[in-house]
Each structure stands twice: as C-alpha cells, then as structure tokens.
Copies of this chain bind each other. A is one copy, B any other.
Amino acid sequence: MDKFDAMRIFVEVAEANSFVAASRKLDLSAPAVTRAIARLEKVLGVQLFNRTTRHIRLTDTGARFFDDAKRILEDLEQAEAMANGSYIQPKGELTITAPVLFGQMHITPILTEYLQANPAVTANALFFDRISNLIDEGMDIAIRIGPLKDSSLYATRVGHVQRIVCASPEYLKEYGTPEHPSELTDHRIIQATTVEPSTSWRFSSPKGKVSVKVTPRMNCCQNGAAICAASHGFGITRLMSYQVGEELKAGVLQRILKDFEMDPLPVNIVYLGGQKANAKIRSFIDLAVERLRANPFIDH
C-alpha cells in the first residue's frame, strides 16, 4: 500500500465526511477507500474514524492526524514540484510571532507583500511581547529581539536595535537636555513597561555600567502610548529604536544620552530546523531577511 495515497484518501474522506463520497471524488471503488483507511488505522494502531454503517466521524486523534497529513501532503507536493522543476505556489498556513510593535510596524508590510505573492497561503500573525515556545505553540517563524537562548532553533540575524532614551525637542528646550544618566532623576519620566519593566534604567559608559533609579510619572503598558506621550512633550521615555524610527526622523522625538546606550540587541528571525524548513517557510524568510536588512530603522 502506498502510505501517501492512503493519507490522501484519508484527507478526502475526512473532508467529505463519507467513504462513498470520497470514493466518487477520487474515482475509486468504495471498498478501496474502506480498505485504505482500515490499513492506515492498522499501521497507526489507532482508530481514525468512529463509524456506524451509515455515518462516520473523525476521532480526536483522527482530527489531529488530519491536520498533520494535510500539511505533510502539501509539503510533499511542493518537494516533488521543486524536484522536477515545475514551480507550484506555496500553500497552507503560515504562523508567525513577533513583539507587538515590531510586528505591526515591520512585519505586517512584509507579510502582506508575501501573501499577495502567494495567494494560496493564509497567515496567522501573533504579535505579543512575551516569548513563546515555537514548538509548543505551533509557530513556524518568530522574530526575536535580544540574545537567543534556545539553541535547538535556527536563526538568521537581520540587524540590531537599541534601547534608546528620547523626548520631544519642546520638552528638552523647556527642561534642558540631560547630559548624563544621573540627571534623569530630575526629569518627568514615561515608563514603557514592556521595554523596561524595572524602574532601574541601566546604561553603559566608558567608565563602566551605570544604573539609574527613575520614578516614572506615567506608566504605560502599551508602547504606543509612551511614544504618544513623549511626542506630545510630556517627558522622557525609553524605547526600542525600531519603535520610534519615524518619530526620530521627523524630529518629533529626539534621541538623547546616545553615548550611554547599552550594547545593541540583535534582531533574529528564528525558525525550526535549518535547511529542513519547507518551501513556504523558506520563501517567507528569504523575503523577510531581504526587507528587514533594507529597513532603515534597523541597524546593520
């Protein structure tokens, strides 16, 4: 028996929710379908369908295997097409995660471009500021900012960003521009909790590390709110450089204490299994690397 054929039959049956319907669609006899499924179940040692003589229904494991089978068949189809040189469009579901603002600002445009070019792919963009487990949560690709820990993953570095301190020119004009981190204690501070959860802001200088305890007048659990408040001249905040690229360029915000910034944080595209990633994932990564490397708000 060809296992892949059996899987194709299985997928068809599961979608049609009927053996006969699937047999008609696949141009097979009904017994052929029954037998294919029966064998698959025997090989797996698991019931895939609950059946009566008139109805069938996927079991829980069946439903899980259905997803797997579908993905694997798609993957196989791609691989075969690749081998014989006939290009076929990637299809299926692509799940990607990134920090909230990074995702919104820098990944979304890439993703829409990718989706436009690959109409058969549906995307799942999960932007949040906590680190998730790629495998557990079924992610295909993650954007990570900062040093990497999990070494079982493959990563491509696309540049680096920095924690920067900034305020609006109006604010600085009125209250003065700090020349040393220690002066921050006298200023109105806007705290973006996702960037810098602690109220000790750490800096580095030629003379070594400096830690300054700030007392925020405003706490934002949303970075966007901190940007907004700082732009309106309320005070000084600390953010990621990629979050305020536009504002810095437009002069709405001004970068200060540049000489005391900590080491830059790498930006990585992280994914499972190196060259083993399939066409869908590889093609997205290729595009993303290219676009992110060309992104003026990410340093290289």
Chain A residues proximal to chain B, CB less than 8 Å? 1-5, 43-46, 48, 61, 63-72, 74-76, 78-80, 82-85, 92, 126, 128, 130, 132-133, 135-138, 272-278, 280
Contact = CB atoms under 8 A, between A and B. Distances in A.
Q: Which of A44, A71, A92, A136 has the most CB of B within 10 A?
A: A136
Nearest to A66: B275
Nearest to A69: B79
A128 B135 contact: yes
Contacts of A5: 3
Contacts of A67: 275-276
Query: At the interface, is chain A mostly helix, strand, loop or mixed?
Result: helix
Q: Which of A46, A79, A83 has the most CB of B within 10 A?
A: A83
B275 A84 contact: no
A71 B71 CA distance: 12
A84 to B, nearest CB: 5
Given A61-B85, A126-B135, A138-B273, A80 B44 contact: yes
Contact of A70 (B48, B66, B71, B276): B276
A179 to B, nearest CB: 39
A222 B249 CA distance: 48
Contacts of A69: 79
Given A72-B72, A136-B278, 12 more contacts: A1-B2, A2-B2, A2-B3, A3-B76, A4-B4, A44-B83, A48-B83, A64-B275, A66-B275, A69-B79, A71-B278, A72-B76
